[in-house]
Amino acid sequence: MIITSAKRAIVKILVLVAERIDVTKMASGHGISLMKGCVAMLVISASDIRKVINMRDAIESDREAFSLQSQGKAQIPLRVVFDVEGRGLSSFMPAYVSSFPQAGVKIVSIFSGNIAKNLPVVSATVLLIDPETGIVNALIDGTELTRMRTGAISGLATELLSNESSETGALFGTGGQALSQLEAMLTARKLLEVRIYDTFHERIGHFIERASETAHVFGARLKAAGSPDEAVDGADVITTVTTTANPVFDGRRVKKGAHVNGVGTYEPHKRELDESMILRADRIFVDNMEAIMAEAGDILIPMKEGKFKKEDITGELGDLILGNAPGRTSEDQITVMKSVGFATLDLVIARKIFDKAVEMGIGTNL
């Protein structure tokens, strides 16, 4: 079996973490203090993350990450993905940003069957490497971090591409990332109403109840949509955050001037957005071109059918931030942001969380 350098790096990181935890437990169990000079590993939980950053912070972190990526200041091999015997996918996403400097890896899994177990469909852990010693010095709850940075992708794209006069939103999906997506939409635009749709209809009411406090803070009304058409008709901002294999709405029904965020599915044979949505768009931005060309079925399926080509993509969102690609130039244009995620986003926000946690004395040292 051929082992790539990315896989070797991942294995080394996991071994280091296992050794650190084992040594710490042994020392603690025998009443032994670790020797002077041993670098502590800070464990940062989901609740800790929310104490040190908010959605606006996450949006600004993503803005920086997109800019660094498009300037070539980050190294990110494509994620290494394992199909865990048909139960789900486990991915390893390493990254290095030279300007910090900082290296790290996110381990993320998507197991759809977790719904029945009352567990998150998407779970993750982020590890950071001390740039002075090469030792793992932080273990961060990657599930909450992923929710924040993925929500912030939509929030940033909505802020950059949607009409400022947008009032109506539509959110497809009510899973573990949906609340952060809603918060990001409302942070980016003063939406008066957001329509919620999920193929599991019974989950819509539960989500609205869970999200009511967030909606109240922003002065927005949440409405259960009885169908995809009801959700999307007349909507100014549309966000999809699902793990579906098939498009979640009819792109022909999207109004002129709408902005669409596709941030869920990231497999080449799956798509949330249909070809009519892609073909109708006046501007299409992506998070990372290399990853999109390997993983985004929303783009790859119409390309394979000869209906779309890579050159039809306007650019990466980082290109827009740097002024190297045109954004919205009229209120009638339809804009699309397709994201599959890339590790620079995780690394930048993880570093900010770590620095802030250290500054505020938050987290648990091992």
Q: Tell which residue, 275, 288, 315, has the closest CA to residue 160.
A: 315
| Coil/strand/helix, residue 185 | helix
Q: Which residues make beta-bridge pairs with 260?
A: 238, 336
Q: What is the CA radius of gyration of the chain?
A: 21
Q: What's this model's pTM, rounded to 2 decimal places? A: 0.85
Confidence of residue 112 (pLDDT cuts 50, 70, 90): confident
Domain match, 187 and 331 both: yes
Domain match, 50 and 140 both: yes
Query: How confident is the model over 204-216, as pLDDT tens digits?
Result: 999 999 999 999 9
Domain match, 193 and 278 both: yes
Residue 85 domain boundaries: 5-145+345-365
Question: Alpha carbon of 269 to those of 54, 91, 247, 302: distances in Å?
Answer: 34, 17, 11, 11
What average pLDDT does this structure show over 263-282?
95
| Coil/strand/helix, residue 45 | coil
Which residue type is seen at 108? V
Is residue 60 scored above 50 in pLDDT?
yes
Encoded tokens for 36: 């002077």
Domain match, 213 and 128 both: no
Establish how many alpha carbons lie within 13 A of residue 254's alpha carbon, considering only the half-sphere containing its beta carbon.
Answer: 30
Domain match, 306 and 169 both: yes
Confidence of residue 12 (pLDDT cuts 50, 70, 90): low
Domain match, 75 and 132 both: yes
Q: What is the pLDDT of residue 40?
A: 83
The distance of Cα 349 from the centroid of its chain, to the nearest Å, equals 11
Work out how many domains the chain is built from and give that number. 2
Question: Which residue reads 């990254």 in tokens?
Answer: 95
| Coil/strand/helix, residue 195 | strand
Q: What's the mean pLDDT when you consider all of the chain?
A: 90
Is residue 29 scored above 50 in pLDDT?
no
**Could you tell me if 225 and 248 are in contact, meaning their C-beta atoms sit under 8 angstroms apart?**
no
Is residue 181 scored above 90 in pLDDT?
yes
What average pLDDT does this structure show over 154-182?
97
Domain match, 86 and 157 both: no
Domain match, 194 and 306 both: yes
- How would you classify the pairing of strands 136-141 and 122-129? antiparallel
Domain match, 63 and 162 both: no
Domain match, 183 and 126 both: no
Q: What is the pLDDT of residue 3?
A: 41
Establish how many alpha carbons lie within 13 A of residue 359's alpha carbon, considering only the half-sphere containing its beta carbon.
Answer: 9
Is residue 6 scored above 80 in pLDDT?
no
Domain match, 177 and 308 both: yes
Question: How many CB atoms neighbour CB 200 within 10 A?
Answer: 11
How many residues appear in the chain? 366
Q: What is the pLDDT of residue 2?
A: 38
293 burial level (CB within 10 Å; 0-12, 13-18, 19+)? middle
Run of H or E residues at 180: helix 178-188
User: CATH number for the domain including 247?
Assistant: 3.40.50.720
Domain match, 177 and 316 both: yes
Q: Name the DSSP class of 250.
A: -
User: CATH number for the domain including 124?
Assistant: 3.30.1780.10
**Span of 13-17, 148-152, 259-263 with lowest mean pLDDT:** 13-17
What average pLDDT does this structure show over 270-298?
95
**Could you tell me if 261 and 283 are in contact, meaning their C-beta atoms sit under 8 angstroms apart?**
no
- How would you classify the pairing of strands 259-262 and 89-97? unpaired
Please give the share of the chain, as a percent, with pLDDT higher than 90: 80
Confidence of residue 27 (pLDDT cuts 50, 70, 90): very low
Query: How confident is the model over 328-365, as pLDDT tens digits?
Result: 999 999 999 999 988 999 999 999 999 999 999 999 99
